Amino acid sequence: MQVFLIPKNPKFLGIQLIIPKLMKKRVSNIKSKRQDYSSFIQSAAWRNKHKDWLKRSHFRCSMFPWIVVGTTAKGKYCPYAIHHMQYRNFGGKEQFGRDVVALSPFAHDWVIHGILSFWLKPGQQRGYPNFFQRVAHCWCLLSTPLKFVVASLIFVGVSFTLFDYRFNLGWWQYLVQKILS
């Protein structure tokens, strides 16, 4: 059996000198990124892109396509949020559908940054986006007709599952009986 002695003040490869420097660098990077983020989000350059992104989303929420967002052709304003799915191209190089999507306030505040993040802000999350947020981001990237097909299939599956429990008959057996009769 091997016994390893750990010194009280380790100087192995200068670790005690490197770690504090890395931590200071990381904390200062986070603070500067927050300042950069808030100043950029409030800038005119960011706001000018919204009109194009809303047109590309057809003035619809990417998560719930039946919700209208932005200023429509009729002049009606519906609140919206342009949501960053990732920050790789942050700072004016964002691409719609890859980096950002248009969301309704409900989808952005309650679903993405509420329920799916367990009410934690992105800076408080261990890894942003988490698994559930990534699934939601993938959902946002689907085309609208495909979303309606998937939502319909989920609705039918849930309905048949409930039907199965209520009548003790499998949904596939029910379909076979309907086809044969």
Q: What is the pLDDT of residues 18-63, one digit of tens each?
A: 444 444 444 444 445 656 888 888 999 899 999 999 999 999 999 9
pLDDT averaged over every residue in the chain: 80
Cα dihedral across residues 61, 74, 96, 94: positive or negative: negative
Task: Answer yes or no: pTM beyond 0.75.
Answer: no
Contact between 72 and 54 under an 8 Å Cβ cutoff? The reply is no
Distance CA 63, CA 60 (A): 9
Burial of 134 (0-12, 13-18, 19+ CB in 10 A): middle
Instruction: Please report which confidence band the pLDDT of residue 103 belongs to, taking 50, 70 and 90 as the band edges.
Output: very high
Residue 87 per-residue DSSP state = -
Question: Dihedral (C-alpha) 150, 152, 153, 156: value to the nearest 10 degrees?
Answer: 160
First-to-last CA distance in the chain?
A: 75
Burial profile 95-131: b = 16 or more Cβ within 10 angstroms, e = fewer: ebeebbbbbbebbbeebbbeebbeeeebeeeeebbbe
Q: How far apart are CA 54 and CA 71, in angstroms?
A: 9
